[in-house]
Structure 1
Amino acid sequence: MHHSFIAATIIVGAVTAFPFVAKMPGVDSSLLHRQRQQQPDTTSCPFDADHIDAPGISGTHPCNGAKNSLPGKGKGGYQVPVPGDTDHQFVAPKSTDIRGPCPGLNAAANHNFLTRDGITTYNELVDGQQKLYNVDYELANLLAVLGLTLTDGDIVTEKLSIGCDATSRTYFLPGTGGSEPGLNAHNKFEADTSLTRNDHFLANGDNYSFNGTLFGMMKETTGGNYNRDGLAKYRAQRYQQSLKDNPNFYFGPASLLLFGAASFLYELMPSGTKSYTPDYQTISSFFGAKQNPDG
């Protein structure tokens, strides 16, 4: 992964001096054009001048003890947030808060396990996954590293936007380089065949906004039981749909991570109060979905 990241950086830099590189076989020119043309920090990205880091653990509410990106106790079965834990009460995002295509990270920010404004860090990602979802330390660490590299965070400041381009707040030398578009970027966290997001080409570049029609399609296909079998059926359905409808359909090696992300619906989101069943009520609450009278 480290060598691949360096190689990609070298190729992007080479295009600036040698434009013909973008037309060479095997080069993903969409990435190169994005780096060359996209302006950092688009004006539509929310900004909160009062950035406050997510709180750590306390003696009265230690969760599983994860802190400073180190392993926690690795034991679940506790209520989150625990009664009386005012640090992690739900607060709906303000207009100045960034939210993105990952319902799990959005929920973590809403509960202040990640910074509420949506600009998070490597430490918060590792600790928050363990405290909120009881993710194994090794996996939490891997996902945090992928977030900073694969999804265009910053490996120097160790900061990442969980949604839109916030380069001026994540980049180690603001104004001197390209953009760090965060999780909203195409073929990063979201890619073609997403569970509830549009294909990049079919939505004029909006592959990050929630699509209620797709969520309804997922409910119908899974029968409202978002387990491995139901989501495998829906993933296959979405793949065939994109293959048929999207003339610019792309499903590269990194897109395979979508299958892993789909497993979070039945591995991380279900509640112990419901015997860890990934039912409609639980999953829809994470996605912020509500059923309309017309379906």
Structure 2
Amino acid sequence: MKGLLTFLTLQSLTTAYVNFEDWLPPTTDDLRSPCPALNALANHGLLPRDGRMLTVPLLVETLGVALNFSAETATVRALDGIKTTSDPASGAFTLGDLNKHGIIEHDGSLSRKDNYLAGEAQVFCPSIFAETLSFFKGATNVGFEEIAAARWGRIQASKAANPQFAYNTTAQRSSYSESAAYFQVLKDPSTNKASVEWIKIFFSEERLPYKEGWRPTNPIDGKSFLTDVLQIAMHTPERAPGVSNATSWASHSDV
């Protein structure tokens, strides 16, 4: 117990010294990905601003300190990122590597055009994101019902527009995980709802809404992640995805 308390105290102190107000948009030479969360961490300088040389230890530390990910969940996510690397010998990957289609990036994104339609997964698409927001029906705070409706709505819209639309098991997991991840990062634990204003900032600016009151208060681990995936699935009119391995879900998110 003493060791746990010491760890939590150190984690709290470390988080307190993270300067979330230090934010800069990327330059033309900086690499970015289909993942708003990782892009935001780079924009805040918590990951390399140029989006290069991302290692497993760096990801584990940053996701833990900045977003309250457990070491296990952060490690799984980082290892999935390594799978996309263009330079395996380096032991690192770049944010640009994550744009490869069908690994983490997937069709039916909440904020990007499909690979077949655009081929630029790193580029935020205002019209796609506006469609996502339309499923919130003007709410200022959203819960599982709205999060699920937006996810499923984008899947259906992508399926209708993209003749090469892919929704296999990997893509399905990525889709559910994407929604569960941003909801876990942004939701208020007292209400289990997320501010739509914060969601807009997170996706469109790729910035953590610290100035607006957000704090990394939600512990994100395999159990909590799986719980939210299941809640989203329960509000979705399709067969629930296989969820036997909770931790592995965290590696299929492009958020």
1:68-87 aligned at under 5 Å gives the runs 73=7, 82=16
The CA deviation at 1:284 is 1.4
Q: Report what 2:179 is aligned to.
A: 262
The structure 1 residue matched to 2:47, chosen from 114, 118, 125, is 114
The CA deviation at 1:139 is 0.6
Structure 1 SS opposite 2:174: helix
User: Equivalents in 1 of 2:163, 2:184: separation in Å?
Assistant: 34
* 8 A contact 2:158–2:165 mirrored in 1: yes
Q: Does 1:189 align with 2:122?
A: no
Structure 2 SS opposite 1:268: helix
Q: Report what 1:101 is aligned to.
A: 34
Structure 2 SS opposite 1:73: helix
Alignment-mate amino acid for residue 125 of structure 1: L
Aligned length: 197
The CA deviation at 1:235 is 1.6
User: Equivalents in 1 of 2:170, 2:11: separation in Å?
Assistant: 33
Q: Hey, which bits of structure 1, 4+ residues long, moved more than 6 A? A: none
User: Equivalents in 2 of 1:229, 1:144: separation in Å?
Assistant: 29
The structure 2 residue matched to 1:135, chosen from 69, 80, 83, is 69
Q: 1:148 to 1:249 in 2, by over 3 A?
A: same
Q: Report what 1:28 is aligned to.
A: none
1:14-53 aligned at under 5 Å gives the runs none
Q: Does 1:220 align with 2:134?
A: yes
* 8 A contact 1:101–1:190 mirrored in 2: yes
Alignment-mate amino acid for residue 238 of structure 1: R
The structure whose residues are more often helix, as a share, is 2
Q: Does 1:126 align with 2:60?
A: yes
The CA deviation at 1:275 is 6.5
The CA deviation at 1:93 is 2.4
Which structure has more relative contact order (CA 8 Å, sep 6+)? It is: 2
Alignment-mate amino acid for residue 217 of structure 1: E
Q: Report what 2:253 is aligned to.
A: none
Structure 1 SS opposite 2:194: coil
User: Equivalents in 2 of 1:218, 1:75: separation in Å?
Assistant: 38
* 8 A contact 1:190–1:197 mirrored in 2: no
**Runs (5+) with no aligned partner, structure 1:** 1-71, 164-181, 291-295
Q: Report what 2:92 is aligned to.
A: 159
Q: 1:214 to 1:136 in 2, by over 3 A?
A: same
Structure 1 SS opposite 2:93: strand
Q: 1:269 to 1:162 in 2, by over 3 A?
A: farther
Q: 1:128 to 1:92 in 2, by over 3 A?
A: same
- Scaled by the length of structure 2, the TM-score of the pair is 0.67
The CA deviation at 1:74 is 5.7
Q: Does 1:288 align with 2:222?
A: no
Alignment-mate amino acid for residue 51 of structure 2: G
* 8 A contact 1:190–1:258 mirrored in 2: no
* 8 A contact 1:198–1:211 mirrored in 2: yes
Q: 1:74 to 1:197 in 2, by over 3 A?
A: farther
Q: CA RMSD in A?
A: 3.0
- Scaled by the length of structure 1, the TM-score of the pair is 0.58
Q: Report what 2:228 is aligned to.
A: none
Q: Does 1:237 align with 2:149?
A: no
Q: Which has the larger radius of gyration?
A: 1
Q: Does 1:209 align with 2:126?
A: no
User: Equivalents in 2 of 1:76, 1:103: separation in Å?
Assistant: 27
* 8 A contact 1:227–1:265 mirrored in 2: no
Between 1:224-233 and 1:123-132, the stretch displaced more is 224-233
Q: 1:107 to 1:87 in 2, by over 3 A?
A: closer
